[in-house]
Chain A
Amino acid sequence: MSHLHIPDGIIDPIWLLIGFIVTGLIIGLSLFMLRKKDIQKLVPRIGIISAVMLLGMSVPLPIGIGYHLNLSVLVGIILGPWAGFISAFIVNLILALIGHGGVTVIGLNSLIIGSETVFGFLFFGALRSFLRINISALIATFFALALSTALMMGIVGITQVNPAKFLHHHEHNHQTQLEEHNHQVDSQEELAEISLIKFAKIIIPFAFIGWVIESLITSAIIGFMGRVKPDLFYERER
C-alpha cells in the first residue's frame, strides 16, 4: 500500500530526474557492494525472488477489499539491502511496463519500495537477536512500511504540483500584474497545503490497514521459513 501511484505527467520533470539520479546512485552503490559476489548465484536469486515479489503483488488479499501485498520487507530480509534495492527497482520497472505505475516515476517509486527492503532488513536484523523471528518480522514490517509511507508523503509534499497553477494558466493566460501574482502565490501555497493534508487523510487510514495485513502475513511467512529453512535469511558478512 505504499507505492507512489502518481501518474505520468503530474510531477515536475525536475523531481522525476532527481528520482532517477538518486535511484541510479543507490543502484551504483549496490552494484559496487555486490561486486565480489558470484554473479552465477546472484542473478537467479535476485531474478526469482523479484518474480515472487511480483506474484505477491498480483494476489488480491482474500479479505473482501482490493489490497495486495508488497513483500518488499521479506525480500530485504532474504536478499539483504543491496540486492533487495535492485530487486525493488526491477519490480518497479516491470510494473511500469505493464501499466501499473508511471514510467516517469520509476525512480521515485524505486526509492520508496527500495526503502522498505532496506529498513525492513535493518529493523529485522536489530530485533531478531532478542525477539522471536516472527515477532521481529511483524514489527520490522510494520515500521518499515510506516517509514516508506512517510517517505511517500514527503515526496508528494516536496514535489507538490499545484492544481491552481495549471487551472489559473488556462483561465487567465499571461497575467503580469505584481499584486495579482503575489496573491496567486499565496493562494497556491495554501491550496498545496490543503491538498497534501487531504491526500494524507485519504491515504493513511488505507495504508494503516495495509501495514497491519502485510505485517501479519510477512510474520506468518517468516515463521514458516524459520521452521523449514532457517538458513534462508540474509546474513551480514563480518
Chain B
Amino acid sequence: MDLYFIDYLASNGHSFFHKASAVPKMIFSMSIIIAIIMSNRPSFLAFLLLFLLLLLKILRQPVLKILAMTFYVAVFAIIFAVSQISGSFLWPLTIILKAVTAALSVLIVLTTTNYFDIFAVLAHFLPKLIADSLFMTYRSFFILLKELKNLTMAVKVKRGLSPRKIFTNLKSLGDILGVLFIHAVDLSSRSSEILAIRGYKGGMAKYRSLRCFSKYDFAPLILSVAALLGVGIFG
C-alpha cells in the first residue's frame, strides 16, 4: 500500500493544487466521478483520463508512479470486464477506463492534500466515533508498518521466507500478524490511557477548521465545472 508515498507527495508539493483547500479539490474529484458515472462513451472517458494525466504532469507529480497505483483497481476492472464481454470490446474498454479514471481523480486529491485537511472535511459528515477512529487508523498505520517491517525482517533472518516453502511462509506470516495484533492491542491500551489523561470526550478529528476560500481554489472549481459541462455536451 502506498500511503507513505501518498503522504510524502501531499506534504512536499508546491503546485497550485497543493495550495488549494481540500473542499474544492474534493468537489473536483466528485465532479470527475459524476462525469464518469454519466458517460458511457469510451472516447470521452479516454479524453478524461488523458486530461487527468496531463494535470498530474502540470502539477509536477510522478505521473507513472501515480498511474501505477491504479493497477490494483484496473486488475479487478479487467476481471469484471472479461465477464461482461458480449461480442464488442467497447463495454470492457469502458469499464477499465471508468475504473482507472475514477481512481486517478481520487489519487490527484490525495497526493496534493494533507490528510489532516481531508479528515477535517470528513469529520463534518461522519459521527464522532468513526471520524476519530479513522484518524487513529491513519496515524497508527505508519507506526505499525514500521513494526511489521521489523518483524518481517526478524522472521526472514530466523526462518526465512521462500516462494517454495508455502506452508512455512503461511505459518511465518501467521506468527508475524499474531505478534502485530498483540502489539496493536497494547498500543490501543496505551493510547486510551493517553486520551483519558487528556480528558478526551470525542471530537479528536475536529482539530482544524476548514480554510477560507483562496485564489488557488478557483482552479479545481473551474475544472469541476468543465468536467460536468464536458459530460453534458460530449459524454
Q: Give chain A's interface residues, CB within 8 Å of chain B.
A: 3, 5-10, 13, 27, 31, 34, 38-52, 54-59, 61-64, 66, 69, 71, 74, 78, 86-87, 89-91, 93-94, 96-104, 161, 163-164, 166-167, 169-170, 191, 194-196, 198-199, 201-203, 213, 216-217, 219-221, 223-225, 228-229, 232
Q: Kindly name the residue among A63, A101, A163, A167 whose own CB sees the greatest number of chain B CB atoms within 10 A.
A: A163
Chain B residues positioned under 8 Å from A45 (CB to CB): 185, 188, 192
Further contacts, 16 of them, CB under 8 A, given A47-B137, A51-B136, A213-B170: A5-B79, A6-B76, A7-B76, A7-B95, A8-B99, A43-B132, A44-B195, A47-B136, A55-B1, A102-B99, A104-B102, A163-B84, A167-B91, A195-B84, A195-B85, A202-B82
Q: Which residue of B lies closest to A219 (CB)?
A: B174
Interface residues of B in 135-194 (CB under 8 A from A): 135-141, 144-145, 148, 161-163, 166, 169-171, 173-175, 177-182, 184-185, 187-189, 191-192
Alpha-carbon gap, A170 to B39, bound state (A): 11
Q: In the assembled complex, which residues on chain A have CB atoms less than 8 Å from the CB atom of B234?
A: none
Among B11-19, B55-63, B67-75, B215-223, the stretch in contact with A = B67-75
Number of A-B contacts (CB under 8 A): 273
Bound complex: CA of A134 vs CA of B1, how far in Å?
A: 29
Question: Does B224 have its Cβ within 8 Å of any Cβ on chain A?
Answer: no
CA distance A47 to B74 in the complex (A): 28
Contact partner, B178, options A43, A62, A225, Cβ 8 Å = A225
Q: Which residue on chain A has the smallest CB distance to residue B102?
A: A8
B202 within 8 A of A: yes
Look across to chain B and name the residue whose beta carbon is closest to the beta carbon of A38.
B192
- Contact B181–A52 (Cβ < 8 Å): yes
Establish whether residues A97 and B177, one from each chain, have CB atoms under 8 Å apart when the complex forms: no
Chain A residue, CB-CB nearest to B35: A9
